[in-house]
Amino acid sequence: MNDPAYLPAVAALSGSAIGGLTSVASAWLTQRYQDRARRLSQDKTRRQSLYREFIDEASKLYADALMHDKSDISALVSLYALIGQMRILSSLVVVERAEAVARTIIDTYFTPNRTFPEFRELVDSNTIDLLRDFTDECRGELRTLQSL
């Protein structure tokens, strides 16, 4: 093995092996990064869709609660089903904000129906926006996902 003729062959084989391993490692790391980016993008899209659906449903229920004394139980159950989905995907703070929205809607059904002047007072006092805390928290969570 002390023959100098073997040295260039061993060096060439070693270089090829190192080059091959580097190529495999690079491809593996690239694939891993792309998979992670794809998963984060899908997660963000899933949450955006869930939050949008919750906002739509809560807004309709809140408007109904302001005008009526009787609730649509199936719609309230749908709202809680959305909150259940958030428990799987979202942070605890987002879930707590969603639960607070649901409680406010239920409490509103127990108050007298609002007249248009009373509705205007709600708008003027900025108390009509029961979704503000929820949407602010959702925005923060989605920004956090984007920065990962």
Number of domains composing the chain: 1
- Residue 142 within any structural domain of the chain: yes
The predicted-structure confidence for 76-111, as pLDDT tens digits, reads as follows 999 999 999 999 999 999 999 999 999 999 999 998
Instruction: Determine the Cα–Cα distance for residues 33 and 79; give it in Å rounded to an integer.
Output: 36
What percentage of the chain exceeds 90 in pLDDT?
46
For the chain, give the mean pLDDT. Answer: 87
Instruction: Determine the Cα–Cα distance for residues 86 and 88; give it in Å rounded to an integer.
Output: 5
- Residue 34 within any structural domain of the chain: no
Q: Phi/psi of residue 112, each to 5°?
A: -60, 150
Segments forming the whole domain that contains residue 71:
42-147
Are 39 and 57 a contacting pair, CB within 8 Å? no
- Residue 32 within any structural domain of the chain: no
Flag whether pLDDT at 115 surpasses 90: no
- Residue 68 within any structural domain of the chain: yes
Q: What is the pLDDT of residue 20?
A: 78
- Residue 11 within any structural domain of the chain: no
Q: What is the pLDDT of residue 120?
A: 79
Higher pLDDT, 92 or 118: 92
